[in-house]
């Protein structure tokens, strides 16, 4: 269950991003997604993957728009790009964390024909 820390951090960062922009419903949705992490059902794992993929797209959009804005204003944008790229990698990595065998077992996603 310790592996679920990475998706939880991804959802917390996304909630903070939405809170900063004043998007309360999206912030609550991101926080609610953290609750789905505790549901031991296959649909929950699939929902988490979709939510994390959508979160990565949100971060990518933010990276492109913020870096473009700073670049056009002739302001430094490298640090912003590095930080948001790291957040994107964390979010995408959180999707692959769900492939860990213990989490596959927790969510009931193991191979169906296997006796392991």
Please report the pLDDT score of residue 76 as a whole number. Answer: 94
Determine contact, residues 92/25, Cβ cutoff 8 Å: no
> pLDDT tens for residues 46-98?
999 999 999 999 999 999 999 999 999 999 999 999 999 999 999 999 999 99
pTM to 2 decimal places: 0.88
């Amino acid at each position: 269950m310790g592996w679920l820390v990475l998706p939880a951090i991804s959802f917390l960062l996304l909630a903070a991003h939405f809170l900063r922009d004043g998007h309360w419903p999206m912030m609550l949705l991101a926080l609610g997604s953290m609750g789905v992490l505790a549901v031991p059902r296959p649909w929950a794992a699939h929902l988490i993957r979709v939510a994390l993929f959508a979160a990565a797209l949100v971060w990518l959009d933010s990276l492109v728009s913020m870096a473009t804005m700073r670049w056009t204003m002739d302001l430094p944008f490298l640090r912003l790009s590095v930080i948001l790229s790291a957040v994107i990698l964390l979010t995408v990595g959180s999707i692959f964390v769900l492939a860990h065998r213990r989490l596959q077992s927790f969510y009931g996603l193991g191979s169906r024909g296997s006796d392991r």
